[in-house]
A and B are shown apart, each in its own frame.
Chain A
Amino acid sequence: MVEPVRHKKIAIASGKGGTGKTTVAVNLALAANRELTLLDCDVEEPNAHLFLKTEWNARKPVKLRKPVVKSEECISCGRCAEACKFNAIVVAKTAMVFYELCHACGGCSLICPTDAIEEEEREVGSTRTGICGKLTVADGYLNVGEPQAPPVIAAVMEHYEPSLPVIIDAPPGTGCSAVETINNCDFALMVTEPTPFGLNDLELSLEMAEKLEVPSAVLINRSDLGDGDVKDLCSARGVEVVGEIPFDRKLAEAYSRGIPAVEADEHYREFFSVLYEKITELSK
């Protein structure tokens, strides 16, 4: 019997925002020219869809179980407020809940001695799925004002289909959202720019990937706008630089209108198709 293929989860990540992470994710997916899943896990600012004509066919709310107080049964004992580490519940005449502070841990309803706290599912964000040519696309939105991105990221990740290759647009930085995404991936391509800011943030991202034990490689965008320090860092850390994209005003203008690089200029189709093969190989 043949083992079913499990395709590796490849994240496109960056320390600093605006280095071209989404551009790389979208163009890799398009240039691969095969059936593939593209997951946009940057749920605070999901942008991949702006470059793809996706036919959306499903929207699913992401819900968390949050407390509802039955005031007639509340004896105002204050134990829920004491238990809550997020200051999301307070006992005035009866217990009051502030949903935007609530992390949905369930602690208040567990501790309530009179069972006055029930839980109901409340929407904190949503995911969408759709089709764009050969691509299956999924993305997520964290509702504005909601603090916790990880549950929405996890909901987007559920659309991973092991039998298909997958490209994941990860959130920038090294905080909760980036950790939640990269920790669930098998390989990370770090997109950076060769500037002092890019260098500083790349170093943090590479350290994060190392700590999460996710192998990584680097792509240098706007490679002619800066200096050689990023390359020096990569060779010192033994991280491979898999490609460089010089600044191209035409590309920046196409991007501003939502046109993917592979459609703006054939030469990018070639570039990203080679890059796709390279990182698929590296992630094995």
Chain B
Amino acid sequence: MKQLTIISGKGGTGKTTFSAAFSQIASRDRVICIADADVDAANMHVLLGKEGHERTPFHGLRKASISPDRCTNCGLCYELCRFDAVKKPDSDNRAYSVSSLLCEGCEVCVQHCPVSVISSLPRQAGWIYRGECRFGSFHHARLGIAEGNSGKLVADVMREARGECEEKGIELLIADGPPGTGCPVIASLSQADCVIIVTEPTVSGVHDLERVQALAANFGAQVGIIVNKADLNPQVTGDIRRHCENSGAVFIGEMPFDRAFVDAMLERKTVCEYSPSLDEKMTALWDKAATELCLK
């Protein structure tokens, strides 16, 4: 089984549009599994649908909780917490208390409370969804509002998707990854065999490309690069192409700016479903990616 993760560094480059289109094209000649690992802003379901999907609760990191009745107000937890998550007693709370927003789940306070009145409680922090869509089985999630911890949720979604692939002998998993370079991206990349970076020919696109490419290299994944909206700055597109040659990444190709990307989305369609000419262009990019990144 192979895992392809599609990322971008910078947001808004068209990553999800490409992920959905590539999922459709790949599904024409094989069974695939799709994962939306961009759980902070999960969007794949807008195009692929989520009706009838079965959901299971997601438990984030355990969070500390102080039982106020038995707290002796010694303040040791307040001193030990490195995340400023313990609040001193005030007019609302007569004992020390923990802000679940700031608690990192390290359990230092739990382990050191002299009267053992701090416990660590599991906490539901979102939902994991699993179901079928028109291109194959589809795993996605919804992070609870202001829950943080999206890295763990990404790890859980990826584990479920990989589990299904192994169970059913599905050979290809396509994951739509999160933006940035932190925890969530790391979780979406950690078991990827290859990575496609969808970038754009802008100063920010290039800046973020270099950072995210360095991250992908840490995981030993083969990297391919696509430039979306390439005609907005042909010169920078050329620079990215040369950058690929020098950095060992595969330059898969480019796509011009096209309003049809938005128009397709408005109809909840992939660009391949919306426009035959975009289908042709996307298929050519996919064929090159699949060949160069050993996904055939």
Contact = CB atoms under 8 A, between A and B. Distances in A.
Do A and B interact directly, with beta carbons closer than 8 Å? Answer: yes
Interface of A: 14-19, 22, 44-45, 47, 50-51, 65, 83, 85-86, 103-107, 110-111, 142, 144-149, 171-180, 183, 195-197, 200-201, 204, 207-208, 211-212, 225-227, 249, 252-253, 255-258
Residue from B41, B151, B186, B262 having most chain A Cβ neighbours under 10 A? B41
A196 B17 CA distance: 12
A45 B208 contact: yes
Contacts, number: 190
A208 B145 contact: yes
B71 interface: no
Interface stretch (B176-184, B245-253, B273-281, B284-292): B176-184
B113 interface: no
Contact of B211 (A45, A51, A174): A45
8 contacts: A45-B208, A103-B104, A106-B80, A173-B179, A197-B265, A204-B145, A226-B266, A258-B203
B232 A253 contact: yes
Given A22-B204, A195-B266, A144 B215 contact: yes
A205 to B, nearest CB: 9
B211 A144 contact: yes
A45 B181 contact: yes
A174 B41 contact: yes
Nearest to B108: A107
A271 B182 CA distance: 34
B183 A148 contact: yes
Contacts of A14: 11
A106 B61 CA distance: 18
Interface string B135-146: 000000001011
B43 A200 contact: yes
Interface string B149-160: 111000000000
Contact of A50 (B180, B204, B215): B204
A255 B13 CA distance: 14
B111 A201 contact: no
Contact of B41 (A51, A146, A200, A227): A200
B115 interface: no
Nearest to A15: B41
Nearest to A210: B145
Contacts of B62: 85
Contact of A178 (B40, B112, B203): B40
A200 B140 CA distance: 14
A26 to B, nearest CB: 11
Given A15-B41, A107-B111, 17 more contacts: A45-B208, A50-B203, A147-B151, A171-B180, A175-B184, A176-B151, A176-B182, A179-B101, A196-B268, A208-B146, A211-B146, A225-B259, A253-B232, A253-B233, A256-B201, A256-B233, A257-B236
Contacts of A18: 10-13
Nearest 7 interchain pairs by C-beta: A18-B12, A17-B11, A173-B40, A105-B106, A44-B180, A175-B150, A256-B233
Contact of B106 (A107, A142, A253): A107
A177 B182 contact: yes
B183 A176 contact: yes
B294 interface: no
B204 A226 contact: no
Nearest to B200: A256
Given A201-B41, A201-B43, A44 B82 contact: no
A208 B163 CA distance: 31
Given A174-B146, A204-B145, A83 B9 contact: no
Contact of A45 (B61, B180, B229): B180
Nearest to B211: A144
Interface in B1-20: 8-13, 16
B24 to A, nearest CB: 17
Interface in B238-271: 257, 259, 262, 265-266, 268
Contact of A195 (B39, B82, B262): B262
Interface string B195-232: 00000111111011001001100100000000001001
B236 A110 contact: no
A45 B204 contact: yes
A208 B142 CA distance: 13
Contacts of A22: 204
Nearest to A172: B11
A105 B204 contact: no
Contacts of A15: 40-41
B46 interface: yes
Given A179-B146, A253-B233, A86 B262 contact: no
